[in-house]
Amino acid sequence: MITLDLVLPDTQYPIHIGTDLLERADLILPHLAQKKVAIVTNEVVAPLYLARLQSSLEQAGVQVLTVVLPDGEANKTWDSLNLIFDMLLEHGAERKTTLIALGGGVVGDMTGFAAACWQRGAPFIQIPTTVLAQVDSSVGGKTAINHPKGKNMIGAFHQPRLVLADMTLLDTLPQREVAAGIAEIIKYGLLGDATFFSWLETNMPALLRRDRDALAYAVKRSCEMKAEIVAADEKELGVRALLNLGHTFGHAIETGVGYGSWLHGEAVAVGMLLAAETSYLLGELAAEEVTRIAALLEAAQLPTHAPDLGFTQWMSLMSHDKKVENGVPRFVLLPKLGQAEIRSNVPVAVLQQVLSGRWILAAKDAN
């Protein structure tokens, strides 16, 4: 087991990465405010892992409440959030009752938001069951639900007490979910570690076949990078916005085509390529680097073509992005591979070219 510590001005917590951690009640008990927890999961994960986690905690003397939510991004709503509150109220949960998120990014985001709201702040723990959640959404304390007009627009910053990233929980993931999670891993190579990007080019086959050593290293490196950025900017007032590489375009895709049609990682993959092509058209990112990015996304079995939303809808959807400042969309772009920066002065003409579809795999077009 590898343990990373995320240290913030007001709190710190461990991120345990390893195998067979789900039933390690000894890792969870030190982080409980009382011996009563509420496990939040969904209808896909519950049959696989809920009983094992619940039994482990109950054997350790912990009272366990449970709630099973409907699965999918389309259910990341007030209605699903209220199912959590209904359960907490019906069973007399207190402010010290720890909420445990057992699931992917949707479950983690909703559990964290529920914990932030429950009696104005209850503790919670993340046990992510997808690659995407292990490398990204479970770490850093961003919680939210969706609105029909914008993804993750209603939420709170609320840090977990503990993150347990168990590689064995990835064995039951559909291959499409594995690939979607790898998109967020690729993001870390693009925005801050070109050496890691090169490692991904070499080790993508191992990641796709779920080699545990390769996955553990990728999760560790991604969490290290995220922890460093979050520690420097917990509330996303500056550098943390770089973690949204690909997300301005990606969130527009998710909202525009309907939540759940594209997986988050799939939308982010295309978003990262659009960001790379934008940087290329601005005369910054080299053509061969765009080619490498596209090739790695394709090797990861991720999409590289954006849906045709129409330029007006693209701009409207991106105007609801959380990075909008004074009504102007801001983008995370790539001056070079392994380096990212936030830009707000992207010419409309460049965005029109990128979003027209003609510039997908721009580097190939340039040769």
Q: Hey, which residues are catalytic here? A: 120, 142, 184, 226, 236, 240, 244, 247, 251, 264
**What are 6's strand-pairing partners?**
13
- Among 317, 153, 174, 163, residue whose Cα is nearest residue 248: 317
Q: How far apart are CA 177 and CA 286, in angstroms?
A: 30
Which residues lie closer than 8 Å to 289 by C-beta, 6 or more apart? 276, 334, 336, 337, 363
- Among 125, 127, 201, 227, residue whose Cα is nearest residue 170: 127
| Token reading at 351 | 């965005």
| Token reading at 46 | 């519950």
Which residues lie closer than 8 Å to 95 by C-beta, 6 or more apart? 118, 119, 120, 121, 122
Give me the sheet containing 124-128, strands edge to edge.
2-7, 12-18, 162-166, 124-128, 98-103, 36-42, 63-69
Beta strand segments in the chain, E: 2-7, 12-18, 36-42, 63-69, 98-103, 124-128, 142-147, 150-157, 162-166, 331-336, 339-343
| Token reading at 330 | 């801001």
Q: What is the DSSP string of 89-141?
A: HHTT--TTPEEEEEESHHHHHHHHHHHHHGGG---EEEEE-SHHIIIIITSS-
Note whether 244 and 152 are within 8 A (CB): no
| SS3 at position 330 | coil
Q: How far apart are CA 19 and CA 212, in angstroms?
A: 8
